[in-house]
Amino acid sequence: MSDINEQEGGEIVDLDNCSKKKSILIAAAITAVLGFVGYSYIFLCMHYIIGGFAAAGSFAKQHKISFTAGTGAKLGAVSSFLGMLVAFAVFAIVFYNGFSETDFETAREEILRQFYEDGQPEAAEFAENLTLEQVRPLVVGVMLAAGSVLSLILGALGGVIGSSVFKKGPLAR
């Protein structure tokens, strides 16, 4: 292994000496910005994969090194998760302040109509008793849980892909 490192770059790079902060912050910003594009969620949450890929690419370019898939996965997962938190915070603020009681009633009427048409009167009765104050924390909690899981898994995938694509020098270990 050390022969390969010495042949490729003439030196052995210690991964612990390479700062990851800048790469993670750049990729988190990319993930957060793309998180505001509605189509990114429709297309299998691609912004998380792109964020992980960007973290690996930025890290490889900044330090002119190659690194393992495990390191790429860590960079991608952390950066996508942080980007998700930023986008989620904005979503939560907008959802709590921008979704009025009138909007809620309109949405609830449509849901009730659909439940009755589908032959689910129990679900419709349950939905009739819900208030906006009960629904907000539920929606925010589900979004946070789903976003956390998806950002970690898909960000890691993007980081793994990025670590295999961006080979910029000696293998850091």
Compute φ and ψ for 42, nearest 5 degrees: -65, -40
pLDDT given for residue 169 in this prediction: 82
Read off the amino acid at residue 132.
Answer: L
Give per-residue pLDDT as tens, 105-156: 999 999 999 999 999 999 999 989 888 889 889 989 999 999 999 999 999 9
**Cβ neighbours of 154 (radius 10 Å):** 24
- Distance (Å, whole) CA 147 – CA 145: 5
- Distance (Å, whole) CA 151 – CA 41: 11
Read off the amino acid at residue 18.
Answer: C
Give per-residue pLDDT as tens, 63-107: 999 999 999 999 999 999 999 999 999 988 988 888 888 988 999
Give per-residue pLDDT as tens, 30-48: 999 999 887 877 888 899 9
- Distance (Å, whole) CA 59 – CA 103: 44
What does the block give as tokens for 136?
């907000």
Give per-residue pLDDT as tens, 2-27: 444 344 445 667 787 789 999 999 99
